[in-house]
Amino acid sequence: MLSLKLPRLLSSSQVPQLRSWCFCRTRRPARCTRCWAAQRFPLLSPQEYQEQGILFGYRHPRSSATDCLLSVFQMTNETLNIWTHFVPTWYFLWHLLGSLPPRDGRGTRAWPFLAYLLSCCLYPFASSCAHTFSTMSSRARHLCYFFDYAALSVYSLGSALAYSAYIFPKEWVNGTFHYYYVPIAVFNTVVSTSLSCYSRFLEVDRPQLSKAFRTLAFVYPYLFDSIPLFYRFYVCAAESCTEAVIVVHYKHTVLAFLTCFVFASHLPERLAPGHFDYIGHSHQVFHVCGIIGTHFQMEAIRMDMTERHDWLLATAMLPSALHTLGSMGICMAVSLAIIRLCSMSLSCLPEPSQREKLHGH
């Protein structure tokens, strides 16, 4: 019975053409003073709903919320994108709840790890919701991915908080760079959210620049956060160290670079269009590599937190709940403000008309 109610799927050629009108239904947006954004930011075209190398399995770009939820249990080109982030959300939530309250004598030293785990729960959940509801409308698509990008930016801050507390090289602890490391990471989070959200306004006219901005928005914070880790790799290679945690950090780093490569390359569907529409396309691989990389990152941070526990307690910089959760709260508030500002530019969006809905949908 459920299969009879599942939404009809489209091919890339069936994705409805979008009319060039404004949200307030003026036929000539250029003459509408309320719709200046329609001319300055031509946001969406049919190609926005289409992915390179993906030919089949598209949902209608004007789906209802019910259709979006039903599609979670239907094999579309988004189904595995949803589940590969929804299931790990509960995995990281299990780890977060298992770490509450701070135990094992760590005291305030546990707060950065808790903040990090919170960000690990947030970004896959936001991504799963974005992939689920992004076909409700043009406006919903942009808003969903605004929240998705903001969650990824907050995750970069969560990583920085954990790195600052647990993985910094001993010779750098309490130094100038260590002192400014988290404030710079907070600034990077704001820049990342702003740049990634702004990139959506460039997708129609300058798609390559849009992709470059979005990639930069997430690569740059990762590279900055990893400076202390890269230094430890260098020292370990020079001194032929045998720390077991370094191997786990290596695994995370390799998967992080693989994740970036898959995201930017659109492989393998780019080489064989239509063959990876439902299983195995780059965004699914991107999700899986990212989640596995986060798992190794979490395990490496936990190992450093345990193995360096006595030495960490002897250092002067003891992060508090206010310092860690306060930084997260500030970034979340600023990210919501950025999303609000961007959403104000979405008052004029081309939408498929009701007449353009396909029969039998």
* d(C-alpha 75, C-alpha 183), whole Å: 44
* d(C-alpha 209, C-alpha 211), whole Å: 5
* d(C-alpha 144, C-alpha 339), whole Å: 10
* d(C-alpha 251, C-alpha 44), whole Å: 38
- Segment 127-149, tens digit of pLDDT: 999 999 999 988 899 999 999 99
Q: What is the mean pLDDT of the chain?
A: 84
For the chain, the domains span 79-344
- The pLDDT value given to residue 37: 40
- Segment 192-207, tens digit of pLDDT: 999 999 999 888 778 8
- Segment 222-247, tens digit of pLDDT: 999 999 999 999 999 998 888 899 99
Q: Is the dihedral of CA 72, 76, 78, 79 positive or negative?
A: positive
- The pLDDT value given to residue 321: 72
* d(C-alpha 150, C-alpha 80), whole Å: 22
Q: Is the dihedral of CA 65, 70, 76, 82 positive or negative?
A: positive
* d(C-alpha 150, C-alpha 136), whole Å: 20
**Full-model pTM:** 0.86
Q: Which two tokens stand for residue 121?
A: 């729960």
For the chain, percent of residues with pLDDT exceeding 70: 81
Please compute the mean of the pLDDT values over residues 312-325 and round it to a whole number. Answer: 71
- The pLDDT value given to residue 170: 87
- The pLDDT value given to residue 62: 87
> Is residue 227 packed enough to be buried (19+ CB in 10 Å), middle (13-18) or exposed (0-12)?
middle
Please compute the mean of the pLDDT values over residues 164-169 and round it to a whole number. Answer: 92
Confidence of residue 215 (pLDDT cuts 50, 70, 90): very high
- The pLDDT value given to residue 348: 52
Please compute the mean of the pLDDT values over residues 240-257 and round it to a whole number. Answer: 93
- Segment 268-290, tens digit of pLDDT: 999 999 999 999 999 999 999 99
Assess whether the previous peptide bond of 16 is cis (omega < 30° from 0).
no
- The pLDDT value given to residue 311: 76
Query: What are φ and ψ of residue 58, in 5° steps?
Result: -80, 145
Other beta carbons within 10 angstroms of residue 341's beta carbon come to 11
- Classify 79-344 by CATH class: mainly alpha
